[in-house]
Structure 1
Amino acid sequence: MDLQPPYWPVIDVPAYLAGRWRVERSVRDLASGAEGHFSGETVFTALEAGGLLHEESGTFTWQGVARPATRTLRFLSGPGPGTADVRFADGRPFHALDLTSGRYIAEHPCAADLYRGEFTVRDADRWRSVWRVDGPAKDLVLTTDYVREG
């Protein structure tokens, strides 16, 4: 009996991600028990040099206080089909991404903390990332659901 959830293989990351996505993110601080929530939109648009610009905007609520929040990433061509090289807005490396099986585990060391992300593609219009951040400065779980708009 196969209990693994079905994954949706992606053969072309820019083609899959291009467009607008509704974003809902929960943030849990495992050390303090505090919880937060982000609600907004991510737009992936083509970059002139190739790849995609990821622009996220919305509202982040932490311990009852709501504030505007934004984030920008670059999804550049990876080493093969279904892959991408994800970078911060300033060009620094963030993580590799390989969605050819519909599921990928990425890691990003940040000072003494380690970010470990699991990406799962559910179908043509839904995907999820779950980041576990562990280290002396942070003990977090960030779960983000993306649903294609329009």
Structure 2
Amino acid sequence: MGEFWPVADVLGYLAGSWRTERTVRDLASGEQGVFSGTTAFGQLEGGGLLSRESGTFVWQGVERPAERTLRFLPGETPGTADVRFFDGRPFHGLDLSSGHHIADHPCAADLYRGEFTALDADHWHTVWRVGGPAKDLVLTTDYTRVG
């Protein structure tokens, strides 16, 4: 993806609902799973957004419900976000002012490296590469605005 869509205010851009399609590839085993659902970014009291992702994850032929909740708080500079897990632990920063951002998140001995790309007003994309002794994964997610 060579073209980025600059975003002046990441929280304003993300607000609302998004169709969420993700593939999860285990590079060690060759297995692949698929998540399909929605991500809703609603206003948080005191500023920021609460991101609620819910849908169905299929892995090795088994379908199960899946969900995740994150907090997107105003970042250190205008237009950016400080992404945190639901319990408040830090996850990563997010700055899409150029339309593209790379973030790292160490998790035990594994490293999560996320690449975020805004494609246009209604589409964005992430690729998380997870590497370390416990995991060797690539998670690719496409978001399409609903409505």
Q: Structure 1 length as normaliser, TM-score? A: 0.96
1:118 paired residue number: 115
Residue 137 of structure 2 aligns to a residue in which SS?
strand
> Partners in 1 of 2:96 and 2:118 — Cα distance?
8
> How do 1:12-91 and structure 2 match up within 5 A?
12-91=9-88
Q: Does the 8 A contact of 1:30 with 1:139 survive in 2?
A: yes
Deviation beyond 4 Å, 4+ runs, structure 1: none
Q: State the superposition RMSD in angstroms.
A: 0.7
Paired letter, 2:140: T
Could you tell me how far apart the structure 2 residues matched to 1:48 and 1:77 are? 12
Maintained 8 Å contact 1:81/1:100: no
SS in 1 for 2:11: helix
Is the counterpart of residue 140 in structure 1 residue 132 in structure 2? Answer: no
Structure 1: any 5+ residue segments left out of the alignment? none
How many residues end up aligned between the 2 structures? Answer: 147
Equivalent residue number for residue 126 of structure 2: 129
Separation in 2, partners of 1:63, 1:88 = 27
Gaps of 5+ in 2: none
State the TM-score, normalized to the length of structure 2. Answer: 0.98
Q: Deviations over 1:105-134 (max 9, x none)?
A: 000000000000000000000000100000
Q: State the identity as a percent.
A: 73
